[in-house]
Amino acid sequence: MSESRYIPCIGLEVHVQLKTESKMFCSCAVSFGEEPNSLTCPTCLGLPGALPVLNAGAIERTILTGQLLGCETPPVVKWDRKNYFYPDMPKNYQISQFDLPLCIGGGVPLYELAYPKDHQKLIENPGKVVELTRIHLEEDVAKSTHHSNYTTIDFNRAGTPLMEIVSEPDIDTAEEAVAYLNSLRQILVYSGVSDADMEKGQMRCDVNISVRPADQKELGTKIELKNLNSVSSVRRSIHYEIGRQIEELEAGRSLTQATWRWNDEIGQTELMRTKEDAHDYRYFPDPDLLPVRTGEMLARVQEDLPELPHEKVARFEKDYGITHYDASVLAAEQSLANYYETAATGTKSAKKVANWVINNLLAELNERSLTIEGCPVEAAKIGALVDLVEAGQISNNQAKEVFAELFEKPDQGPAAIAKSKGFEPADSGEVEGFIDEAIAANPGPASEVTEGNDKAANFLTGQVMKLSRGKANPKQVTELILKKLRA
Ligand code: ZN
Ligand code: MN
C-alpha cells in the first residue's frame, strides 16, 4: 500500500552476558543451570552495607569488543547508579555507566550471510556498517519465574557482567536488524567475549522503532519493544510494528512514546507502559566505586587482537585459493573455520577440501543433527580422503562411500576403509587390457573418438570402469583411451 511514503528508523539495544569466571562486582561464579540461589553473596544479593569490587576481566572484554568494532575508549570511565524499582534487584538500583561509558562510537559491519536466507539476494545496502552510539558495562538482575499464583526468584544470574551495545537509529529494515544481530554475535563469539546464545538469554534485544513520512526530516515517535529473545521474533515484530505505526498515522492518529512487548504466539505487539525518560532514572555516580583509568588495559588489548571474520575470509581466499562465497561459509563460525584449516593444511587441493566440507560434511552433520564441534570425523581425515582421490587411488564415487563409512568407523582412516572395500587402483597392465577389450567391443564409438568426439571417449571410459568394477581411475582411463585412438 502506502508503505513507501514512510521511512522506518530502527535502533537496537543489545544486552550481552560476558563470558567471565566470576560476577561483575563480587567473586561469585558465573555458571548456568546450577542449583537456584547457590551462587550468591551479600554483594550480589544486594544486602545493605555490602561493597562492590570491580571485575577487571569484564572491563577488558568490553574494551576488546570496542576495539573490534572501531569504538573509542575514553581515558577515564566511571560507574553510575540507575535507580529503578526492580523486584529482581533488591537494592533498587543497577550499577551501570551513564556519561562515561567504556566505548563510544564505532560500527557493526553487516556481512551477506548474516541476512535471513530468503533475503540474501535482495540486500538493499551491501557492505553496510551500522553505526554504534556506545557500549557500556553493567550488572544483570536476578531471574524471576512466574508460576500459576506465585513467583520464584533465582539470584545466580544477579550481578553477571552485562555489556550493553547501543546502535544509532541506523537500521532501515527488519532484515537489516537480523543481519546486525548475526554479525554482532559472530564477532562476540569469535573473540571469546560471549557465547551470545539468544536462546539461553545470553544475548537479549530491545528494539526502538519509529516511522516518519518520507517528506519529514525529524524522526517520528519512538516505540520501544522490550526483551526480544530470538532473531525471528526481532524480524517479525519489526514488520508488524512498522505496519501498525503506518496504519495509525494513515488514520490521522498520533503515536505516544511508549514501551511495548512482542507477543510471539499471536504475532502482535502489546502496550506495556508509557516510556520513562533517562532523567526518571536519577542517575548519579556510584559512591562505592572509583573511576577507572583505561590506558594500560587498552594497550594490553591492542597488543593481542583476534582475527576478525572478514579478515579470515580474505585470508582463506588468498591462502587456499577458494571463492569468496566458500570462504564466507567456512569462516562464519570459528570452529568450522578451524576444522577447515586443519583439513586443508598439507593436502593436494585445499579447494577440493572446501567443497567436501561445505557440500558433504555440513550436509551429513545436518542430517545427523550434529554440530561441527561434535563431528565424529577428524578434520585431517577429510584432507586424507581428498588426497586419495587426487592421487587417483580412488574415484569420486568411491570417495563418497568411504566418506559415509568414516562416520560409522571414526577410529579408521580413509585409506584403511578404501582398502577394506576393495577400492584399490587396478594395476596399469590390467587397465590396458580393459581398454583394449572395450575398444574391441565398441568399434563404432572407438572410431568416433578417433574423429574427435569427446562424448564417445566418455562412453568408452564408462565401459572400462564397468570392466574394472570401478577400480580404475576414470581420468587416467580417458587419457589412455585418447592416447590410443588419436595417436
Ligand atoms: Zn556474589
Ligand atoms: Mn541496560
The alpha carbon of 250 and the centre of ligand 1 are apart by a number of angstroms equal to 52
Cβ–Cβ under 8 Å, residues 265 and 234 = no
153 and 41, same domain (yes or no): yes
Tell me the CA–centroid distance for residue 35 and ligand 1, in Å.
15
For residue 281, give the ligand nearest its CA. 2
Average model confidence (pLDDT) across the chain: 92
At 54 the pLDDT is 97
Domain shared by 323 and 352, yes or no: yes
Identify which ligand lies nearest to the alpha carbon of 94. Answer: 2
- Looking at the structure, tell me whether residues 293 and 397 fall in a common domain: no
Same domain? For 400 and 264 the reply is: no
Q: Which ligand is nearest to the CA of 17?
A: 2
Give ion ligand 2 contacts, CB < 5 A.
164
Same domain, 159 and 116: yes
Tens digit of each residue's pLDDT (9 = 90 or more) over 265-305? 999 999 888 756 667 889 999 999 999 999 999 999 999 99
**What DSSP designation does 98 have?**
S
Residue 276 pLDDT: 66
Judge if 97 and 182 occupy the same domain: yes
Q: Are 180 and 69 found together in one domain?
A: yes
CA of 29 to the centre of ligand 1 (A): 8
Domain count of the fold of the chain: 3
pTM (global) more than 0.85: no
C-alpha to C-alpha distance for 190 and 292, rounded to whole angstroms: 27
pLDDT digits (tens, 9 = 90+) for 99-137: 999 999 999 999 999 999 999 999 999 999 999 999 999
What does R_g of the chain's alpha carbons equal in angstroms?
Answer: 30
Assign residue 466 the CATH number of its domain: 1.10.10.410
Beta bridge partners of 292: 77
**What cell does 305 get?**
587482537
Nearest in space to 195 (alpha carbons), one of 170, 227, 163: 163
Q: Which ligand places an atom closest to the C-alpha of 43?
A: 1
At residue 89, does pLDDT exceed 70?
Answer: yes
For residue 258, how far is its CA from the centre of ligand 2 (angstroms)? 17
Domain shared by 105 and 250, yes or no: yes
Whole-number pLDDT of residue 305 = 94
Q: Are residues 140 and 262 in the same domain?
A: yes
C-alpha cell at 473: 581411475
Question: Ligand 2 centroid to 62 CA: how many Å?
Answer: 14
Query: How far, in Å, is the centroid of ligand 1 from the Cα of 24?
Result: 9
Ligand 1 centroid from CA 48, angstroms:
13
Q: Which ligand is nearest to the CA of 29?
A: 1
Q: Report which residue type is found at 373.
A: E
Q: Which of 301, 326, 341 is the last residue of a domain?
A: 301
Enumerate residues 6+ apart whose C-beta is below 8 A from 455. none
Q: Tell me, in angstroms, the distance from the centre of ligand 2 to residue 457's CA.
A: 70
Same domain, 289 and 379: no
Through-space distance between the first and last CA atoms of the chain, rounded to whole angstroms: 71
Instruction: For residue 445, give its domain range.
Output: 428-485
